[in-house]
Amino acid sequence: MKRIMFVTLTVVALGMVYSSCSRKVTRIDPSEQIDISGRWNNTDSRLAAEELTDQILGERWVNDHQKNKNGERPVVIVGFITNKSHEHIDAETFMKDIEQSFVRSQKVRLVQGGKKREELRAERADQQSNATQSSMKKFGMEQGADYILQGSINSIVDSHKRQKVVYYQINLELTNMETNEIVWIGDKKIAKYVKN
């Protein structure tokens, strides 16, 4: 009897240890809202992208530009996004969604900037000595941007004991490259109440 009890307890204990150590991973829909820690997450990034895309493509700066430039589509370059919040947030997750909407909607033209542009120029330089004359791309033919898109992420944290309210504000600004005139400002505000 004692032996049976010992074996049963051992099996149960081993089972508990195994189940507590085993990791379970399941694929979920990226649009599903799951909040775990209360920090910035994929849902916030998606909400910011959706709201800002609607704002930037729906406002009058595009029509104004086309009216002044004989129907030409505006050319935009993406500048810096400064994260001035209290968390590490990579703006690229929602900025790429906005860029994608530019290309897909065909309302706005987009040019490459930063490190990727450097890479393009390096590749073009390489072509000057390695590619055939007919396929070699020329320098000095880049499309100049009409507007630069810049932004910032700010946050306010109000906490006491186990309660916390976190407020995020994402601002994007579109500025005329020649005149420095800001032609569009968009924002997305997210507030979260976290109770631990």
Partner 1 sequence: MKKIILISALFFSVALVSYSQDLAPDQNPNYAESRAKYMQMADSLTAYQSTTIQDTYKAIDYLADKAEAREERKAFRNQLRMERAKRNYSYYYGRGYYNQRWQSPYYYNRYRPYNNHYYRDYGPVIPWLIPGIWR
> What does the binding site for partner 1 look like in residue numbers (CB under 8 A)?
77-92, 95, 113-118, 153, 155, 157, 159-162, 164, 196
Q: Give the nearest distance from C-beta 53 to partner 1 in angstroms.
A: 17
DSSP state of 47: H
Q: Give the nearest distance from C-beta 179 to partner 1 in angstroms.
A: 11
What are the distances in angstroms from CA 140 to CA 31, 64, 95, 102, 136?
43, 28, 28, 24, 13
Q: How far apart are CA 54 and CA 167, in angstroms?
A: 21
Q: Which is nearer to partner 1, 3 or 116 (CB)?
A: 116
Q: How far apart are CA 116 and CA 42, in angstroms?
A: 25
Q: Give the nearest distance from C-beta 114 to partner 1 in angstroms.
A: 3
Taking the CB of residue 91, how many other CB atoms lie within 10 A of it? 20
Q: What angle do CA 110, 113, 116 make, to 5 degrees?
A: 110
DSSP state of 177: T
Q: Which is nearer to partner 1, 62 or 78 (CB)?
A: 78
Q: Which is nearer to partner 1, 9 or 157 (CB)?
A: 157
Q: Which is nearer to partner 1, 78 or 183 (CB)?
A: 78
Q: Give the nearest distance from C-beta 95 to partner 1 in angstroms.
A: 7
